[in-house]
Amino acid sequence: MLALSHIDSYYGASHILHDLSVEARGREILAVLGRNGVGKTTLLKTIMGLTDRCTGTLVLDAKDFSTAATFERARAGIGYVPQGRQIIPDFTIRENILMGGFAAANGGGRIPDTVAELFPYLMDNLDRPGGVLSGGQQQQLAIARALAMEPSILLMDEPTEGIQPNIVEQIEQTIVRLNKEFELTIILVEQNVRFAREAADSFVMMENGRVVEADAIDGLTDAIIAKHMTI
C-alpha cells in the first residue's frame, strides 16, 4: 500500500499540491482524474521525488519514504511511465529497456520475462532504434522500461494519450493484465473516463492541486464528471 498524507509540493516558488492525501491499496488500480493543469502529473512526480520541494508524509508498505531520494523509491518498487513516453530515440529497444533495470533492487541487467510475454514485437526488434517506432510502440517501450525496474507499484501518466486508435485498446488491455495477472498496484492518470470506469477499483478527482472527490470507482457518477472534468 502507498499512502500520501498532507502533501504540499512545489516547483521553485510555485505551490502545486495543497494538503493532499491519497491512498493506493495493494494490487488495485487507482484512477487519478481531473482537468488539465490540476496537478495530476505533479502528484506522480511527487511520489517519485521529482519536484523541487515537498512536505507531508509518503509511506510505502509501512515504511516512511518522505525524505527518500528518487533512486531509493525506485529500488523500493515504484516504477514510472511518464507522460509523453520520454524514451531515448537513439538508443535501441534493448538499451531503452535495460536502462530501466539500473533502478531495480537487483541491479537489472536483463529483460524481464514479463516484457517478453506482453510485448513480443519489442522482443523481435531489440536492435531497432526507439526513435523509429510508432507512438503506440514507443508507449509499449516506455512500459517495458518501467517493468525492467521490477516494480510492485506502477505510476502511469496518460498512457493512451496521442496513441493511434487501433493501439489504444492494446495498451488498455496491457494495463489490466499488469494489474490482474501480474498483481501490480497501478496509479493511473487518465482522461478517458470510460477506461477508468472499466479498469479502476477506486478514484480520486483533483482540482487546483487538491483532492475534491475520492471513492470506489462505482462512486464516479456523471454528476462528478460534469462538475470537475467538463470544460
First to last CA, the chain: 33
Domain layout of the chain by residue ranges: 2-228
pLDDT in tens, the chain (231 residues): 999 999 999 999 999 999 999 999 999 999 999 999 999 999 999 999 999 999 999 999 999 999 999 999 999 999 999 999 999 999 999 999 999 998 888 777 889 999 999 999 999 999 999 999 999 999 999 999 999 999 999 999 999 998 988 889 999 999 999 999 999 999 999 999 999 999 999 999 999 999 999 999 999 999 999 999 997
Domain 2-228: which topology?
Answer: Rossmann fold (3.40.50)
Give bridge partners of residue 157 from the DSSP assignment: 189
Contacts of 90 (CB under 8 A, 6+ apart): 129, 130, 131
